[in-house]
Structure 1
Amino acid sequence: MAVPRDFVGMMGAYAELFDLVAARGRHSGARSRCADDTSMPGRLPGDQGRTALQRQHLAARPPRCQRPARTMMDDHEFRALVARHELDCRHQPELFTRTTAALAGLGHAVILLVMLLAAVGFIWTLTGMFTQGFRLWRLFLLAGCGSLLWSIGSALWLRQLPPDGVTLTRDDAPRLFELIDKLCRRCSAPPVDVLMVDAELNASVVQLPRLGVLGWHRNHLVLGLPLMMALDVKQLAAVIAHEFGHLRGAHGKLGAWVYRTRRSWWMLAHSRHQAKLGANVADAALGLFFTWFFPRFNARAFVLSRLQEVEADNLAHQTVGRRHAASGLISLGVHSRYLQEVFWPDLWARARQRNAVVPRPMADMRVLLKDALRHEHASRWLREALKTLPEAGDTHPSLRDRLEHAEQTPALPLLPEANAADVLLGDRLGSLIETLDGQWQARQADAWKEAHDAHDRAERLLVELAESDTPQQRLQLDELLLWARTAWQVEEAAAARAPLRAAIGRHREPHEARYLLALALLDAASPIVSRSMAPQESEELLEAIELLKGLTFDTVDTGGYGASISDPHWALPAARQLESVLEQREAFEQLKPVRERLRKLEQEAREAREELEDFDSPQTLAAARVSPRVLRETLHLMKQDVAIGRAWLLRKTSPAARGWSLYLLVIERSGSLRQPDVNTWWETLRDRVPLPFPFMVIDLSHPFWADQARVDLVQQFREASSGLIYTASEQLKDQL
């Protein structure tokens, strides 16, 4: 049985469902947006300083991927398997843990056994070629065994990197070490060997073996400075006790063992996917385990990690108290939303200013994080956090489940008299802030300059659009939408209303304009409160609700806007937004039909996405009709990237996904010697390209598209001359 060529795609899908936190356990489930993460503002030039409008708009996009991922066990089957294992784990947790550990050992044993057989086969075949003469079958067997040995060697060479951060000694923060030592004794946890502080709203324990596979682990405790600024000492103690729960129960070692098994199989699958010479011979030895072992082991490991999180919470309750543990969780949830929706957008908005210097986020947080719990949206953030289910890769239970387990009623905690950073770090806090800010500034200097330059270009674009929209020559619909988005980014939400109303008044199907106008009106009506507190809706709120209803339902009289046939691209985000507004208004009698419609739209979206991301059947492609002004920023980005040779922008449709479409940004590399990684570059482009609609980046050098089986499809891309939007050679001629 050959290793399925879509196995790497399956691994990616399961990696989202199960991202083991053994090596880097998250306590809060929330990340500070100052980290070097491609999903965060400030990481890449295409994402700096996104406004609330842009974040709402991006949230409406279906996820984009380099290649469609198919699985031998679909998502429904995997979740059902997880549910069964959770039941087994609840009844016999110790047996479940031992069985999962044994399966991890079996996974390693199978890899080592196959490696041994491959080595024996390689030596036997090589010896036979020298002693008994050359045979073609010996050459194939030699290639297969050699290829398999190389793949397994790569899979087993898994180095666990130490965490990043600033290392603190006992002399640096004696009160913090005193707290840690006290918690170690109470939790019966092994001592902390290294204490580090980083710039995350997070805490973690990392166990690194001193002797490799022989063990003797060194325990690293990593505390985020934003975390310490957000919590009081008792709340921070509960977080640390939770992390010590992983150490005391040997969770770190067992989790790392399970993690290495999963990672080894992933690396092996990746190597076999890329293997050319001897691939068919070698893959026959692994097909059964790829299709049977990994999904089942993954489901068990996911359940085991969730069990460990509950046990770690129990230890925090026993050591520090349920009330402090629960209030810390709530505070982290609110602070996470404050950073995402207020702090980081405001910080990147400073790039608009003339001669703006690169800011110091840690220094700003020291002052501004105190406002998070009393922010006007804090209550809404808590309500939404209580409804949020864990992300697919997050083994932590939901906030609501964790509060119920702690037997605590959800409520915003009181403002602490002093935060843990001020109390425990003392005089060292100032220099620590300076160090972390210096590191952030060094990482973000280029991105900050690009954000500043992008703002200057946006201001010039606004002037150009205003001057171009005359009675004699009106702007196209996508140009009016560009005007609205740019005005919101450069000025404020109110500035976007005029171009949006113009788009609605002039064009037949301005669905996106209706949705964006609703968001702009909600921005003016914010904060939205329950009807018991404000019985009368404002004019802005009433108009926004009518617009959202018109998009959510197929044919609705939307007041002064006339009848509207909903566009599925905007019906789904409109339904989600409408549900949120009605919940905040406590208009429960109106929620039932909205939620029924939302479930239907979500199902349609899943089916449409699956259809549009299928590239095995004949494709219906056409050139994307987009205004040059809308493409201007994208082309500016391409001119800066020497790796891009040509680019096409195509629009894919399918009769099976009526009303839906997917834009394809097809990239052909240049002949430059400086070329990024063929497996990951598409992700970088996906996050940087500022196109305002759902799109998939297709890097023709990626192994999936470079496969001979897709030669005809790639040729179809290249022959779409009307969809060609960029050619590097033409840009060079223009410069000359």
Structure 2
Amino acid sequence: MILEKLRSLRSDHIWHQIYGFAQQYPNTYAALQVLAALVGYVYLLLFPVLLLAGIWTLGSYVVLEQASGNAMHFIGWTLITGISAMVTIQLTKIKFFSTPGITLDAPMANKLHLLLDKFADETTIPRIDRIVVTEQLSIDLVKTPTMAIPFWSSNTLVIGLPLMQCLTPEYFECAVIRKLLQYTKRRNCLIKWLHQLRNVWLLYMNVLSKNITLGTLPLAIFFKLYAPLYRDLTTPVAHRNELDADLDTLQFVNDEDLLQTIEAVIVAKIYLDQQYWPKIRKSLKENQDIDIQPYSKLEEMLKQGLTTKNTKRWLDSVFESESHRLKAIPSLRARMHNIGRARIRIPERLQQTAAQAYLEHDYLKIVDSVNQLWKQRHSRIPGHPVSATHSLIAAQQSGVATQFSSKAYQ
């Protein structure tokens, strides 16, 4: 408990130092962040460049027959070339994992694809190569590098099933268009680029840490240190990008709908974290043989738990107490001020959910698949009740992320 408090105080101190500097010296901060972002590119390119330089230098020694006269230099460049070759070969073999989840093609969730087509007709949005439904309460556009150096990437729209279960169709549309606008080049392209690299460098860290070899060790060590540091240093960048996305969304929806969408996600997260998931864990702890299907009843439980009284209490608490930390999402107070709203507006009660409206007849099938995905993921956590009960299911469902053909939106 004491260590957690110390870490919290340290995080607050770091955040205030970084945020204060960014506010006081915005141009200097922006320049430093560009340099910090380029460090990752420079390091990735370093080994191929050293390999070429080494080959050229060693070739010159051989051609000019100077190797014996410069033995130490020759040995040094031989080592540099050998290490660079080893790292470069491993760099070319890096395979970035596809986002795990239920991949939807056009025949599945046809209304969701039509919604993206509608947005593509109304404004410029990023190309979507793949749509994935996961078990998280979130929505994101994941950029996965298509080569060793992150110059080009594929785009995966990742939508959490709980997000669709906690939002009305109107609020869900608002959440989707907001996320897509966050990755368009409408304003502050530099901010967007710096923000996107936060996840890209973390992706390198995660991939390289999965399979450490002698060739990947220099890369793994570097990104283990660099990626978290870059993430923390660019927290003000992430805040600015989130606030810009809110402003861009106001061109397509009114401020009240945007605010209520933000609030609906906040209260759903509080309900899940404080009430729903603790009950699930308690049930599993009391009876490990029970077959939990957490997402099958989630929609019904959200409708019961997100009462007007609870919603108002939670929103008032978040509005009054939320403090700045090293998190990418700004406070509710800051987001409300950004869009010109001073008072909380209670979101509409759930009647029809976005999950029902957009997944239609595929809804139950997707819910079942996400249940299995949840069991598979938690079966890997040592000591978790699901580990013993569902280990066989996890093994059998290793291919639960059903693959369908992808569709690109221009």
Q: TM-score, normalised by structure 1?
A: 0.42
Consecutive unaligned residues of structure 2, counting only runs of 5 or more, are 389-410
Contact 2:296-2:367 within 8 A present in 1 as well:
yes
User: Any idea what SS the aligned residue of 1:416 has?
Assistant: coil
Give 1:447 shift: 6.9
Contact in 2 for aligned 1:104/1:258 (Cα 8 Å):
yes
Moved over 6 A (4+): 95-99, 250-253, 264-267, 293-300, 446-450
Matched, 1:170 2:106: yes
- Structure 2 counterpart of 1:416, which letter? L
Equivalent residue, structure 2, for 1:224: 160
Q: 1:315 to 1:439 in 2, by over 3 A?
A: same
Q: Confirm whether residue 418 of structure 1 aligns to residue 361 of structure 2.
A: no
Query: In structure 2, what is the equivalent of residue 316 of structure 1?
Result: 249
Taking the aligned partners of 2:48 and 2:247, their CA distance within structure 1 comes to: 42
Question: Which of the residues 246, 249, 256 maps onto 2:182?
Answer: 246
Q: State the partner residue of 2:142.
A: 206
Conserved? CA contact 1:350–1:356, under 8 Å: no
Contact kept in structure 1, 2:143 and 2:200, CA below 8 Å: no
Give the 3-state SS of the residue equivalent to 2:296 in structure 1.
Answer: helix
What is the deviation of 1:442? 3.9
Residues 215 and 374 of structure 1, relative CA distance in 2, 3 Å threshold: same
Q: How does 1:318-357 map to 2 (within 5 A)?
A: 318-351=251-284, 356-357=289-290
Question: Are 1:258 and 2:197 an aligned pair?
Answer: yes
| Equivalent residues of 2:12, 2:324 under 8 A apart | no
Question: Of residues 118, 124, 132 in structure 1, which corresponds to 2:68?
Answer: 132
- Measured in 2, the distance between the counterparts of 1:354 and 1:110 equals 51
Higher CA-based Rg = 1
1:433 is aligned to 367
1:359 aligns with 2:300: no
Which amino acid in structure 1 is aligned with residue 193 of structure 2? L
Q: Residue 221 of structure 1: CA displacement?
A: 1.2
Q: Which runs of 5+ in 1 are unaligned?
A: 1-59, 280-286, 455-736
TM-superposed CA distance for 1:230, in Å, is: 0.5
Question: How do 1:151-170 and structure 2 match up within 5 A?
Answer: 159-170=95-106
Aligned: 1:62 with 2:3: yes
The within-5 A match list for 1:295-310 is 301-310=234-243
Stretch of structure 1 that moved more, 310-319 or 189-198: 189-198
1:151-179 CA distance string (max 9 Å, x none) = 67767876543212112233222222222
Q: 1:340 to 1:301 in 2, by over 3 A?
A: closer
CA distance change for structure 1 residues 261 and 142 in 2, over 3 Å: closer, same or farther?
Answer: farther
Q: Quick one: distance in 1 between partners of 2:355 and 2:371? A: 16
Letter aligned with residue 177 of structure 1:
H
Aligned partner of 2:131 in structure 1 is 195
Give the C-alpha shift of residue 355 in structure 1.
Answer: 7.5
- Which residue does the alignment assign to 1:84? 21
Q: Deviation string for 1:107-137 (max 9, x for gaps)?
A: 5346635753465357746957994179567
C-alpha distance in structure 1 between counterparts of 2:244 and 2:122, whole Å = 15
Distance 1:435 1:417 in 2: 24
When residues 445 and 81 of structure 1 are mapped into structure 2, their CA distance, relative to the original with a 3 A threshold, is closer
Residues in 1 aligned to 2:199 and 2:384: alpha-carbon distance in whole angstroms: 39
Q: 1:450 to 1:243 in 2, by over 3 A?
A: closer
C-alpha contact 1:183 1:237 (8 A) present in aligned 2? no
Mapped to 2, the partners of 1:434 and 1:261 lie a distance apart of 31
| Residue 234 of structure 1, CA deviation | 1.8
8 Å CA contact 2:48, 2:88 repeated in 1: yes
The aligned amino acid for 1:413 is: P
How many angstroms does 1:307 deviate by?
2.0
State how far apart, in whole Å, the 1-side matches of 2:18 and 2:279 are.
44
Which whole-Å CA distance do the structure 1 matches of 2:164 and 2:230 have between them? 36
SS of residue paired to 2:335: helix
Conservation of the 8 A alpha-carbon contact between 2:132 and 2:157: yes
Q: In structure 2, what is the equivalent of residue 659 of structure 1?
A: none
Q: CA deviation at 1:342?
A: 1.1
CA distance in 1, matches of 2:276, 2:75: 62
